[in-house]
Structure 1
Amino acid sequence: MRAAIMFIPLFAGLVACMPMKDAVSTPTGADDYADMCATCHGPAGRGDGEVARDLGVAAPDLTQLAALNGGVFPKAQVMSQIYGYARDGHGGSDMPAFGELLEGETVLVDTGDGIATPTPLRLVQLAEYLEALGR
């Protein structure tokens, strides 16, 4: 019995040192924005990133997405554009597709059509971060 009592603190210490399943954290929407978007769209999303002037077209002001859509943030269209679904198949967008970079854990998302669709968590977080930029 005494040996068991002495083992409890040792066991607790070992458990605390063990890597948890979530030890590798998923980047936040802000992290992904800073890594993948800010160089073109700017730190605040206004289209004034450090390489924006070198683009063939103006980088959109992401803070105006809801305003340009009747006050409603176009989440499905934004996620489609980021992922790469919104391409016309002929290189019709100057924005690169980021879908493969955002793959991983999925969550169910209803983008307004009543259908919960498995969607990469990082893509959802990035879209939610963009929505917050416009508030």
Structure 2
Amino acid sequence: MKALLPIGLVAGLALAAACTQPSEPQGALLFAENCTSCHGLSARGDGPLAQDYGIDVPDLTLIAARNGGTFPMTRVMSTIDGFTRVQHGDVVMPEFGAILADGPVVSYDAGDGVLTPTPAPLVALAEYLESLQRTE
């Protein structure tokens, strides 16, 4: 006779496994949906709209390299959210804060020990960008 696990235990284990999955797949999906038109699939600033606007879109794989080798997570999230406005000639990067505000909220520590409620999709997208960093 097989021993059966209680349904609550099985559900709990499944939930625990889901909570420990990295956010990179969500970040990659958000990047594909919201960023590739300007930054390109490679994130190197070669998207089709960048060419249409005739502007130099930043290479997002070199954010850390442009920042002394450290990925500025809080500044990146602020730029994505729209708190920090990025302008390229006459073109301004859109604000994505409202789009990324849907969904769960996580506690984010910007390095000062203060946990700030932050949209999980925003953190996921920034973590994905961090995973793309190269040294040049």
TM-score normalised by L of structure 2 = 0.73
1:2-34, Cα deviation, whole Å (9 max, x unpaired): xxxxxxxxxx8xxx9xxx9x9xxx970000000
SS of the aligned residue for 1:117 comes to strand
Alignment identity in percent?
52
Match of 1:75 among 73, 76, 87: 73
Q: Does the 8 Å contact 2:41/2:47 carry over to 1?
A: yes
Aligned pairs for 1:53-132 within 5 A: 53-55=51-53, 57-87=55-85, 94-103=92-101, 104-132=103-131
* Aligned residue-pair number: 111
- Alpha-carbon distance between aligned partners in 1 of 2:53 and 2:110, rounded to the nearest angstrom: 30
Gaps in structure 2 of 5+ consecutive residues: 1-6
SS of the aligned residue for 2:47 comes to coil
Q: CA RMSD in A?
A: 2.5
Gaps in structure 1 of 5+ consecutive residues: 1-11
The one-letter amino acid of 1:132's match is S
Relative to structure 1, the CA distance from residue 40 to residue 28 in structure 2 (aligned partners, 3 Å threshold; closer, same or farther) is same
The one-letter amino acid of 2:105's match is T
Question: Which residue of 1 is the match for residue 45 of structure 2?
Answer: 47
- Alpha-carbon distance between aligned partners in 2 of 1:56 and 1:114, rounded to the nearest angstrom: 42
Give the ranges of 4+ consecutive aligned residues of structure 1 lying more than 4 Å apart after TM superposition. none
Q: Name which one, 1 or 2, has greater alpha-carbon Rg.
A: 1
Q: Does the 8 Å contact 1:107/1:119 carry over to 2?
A: yes
- Alpha-carbon distance between aligned partners in 2 of 1:105 and 1:56, rounded to the nearest angstrom: 37
- Alpha-carbon distance between aligned partners in 2 of 1:86 and 1:108, rounded to the nearest angstrom: 21
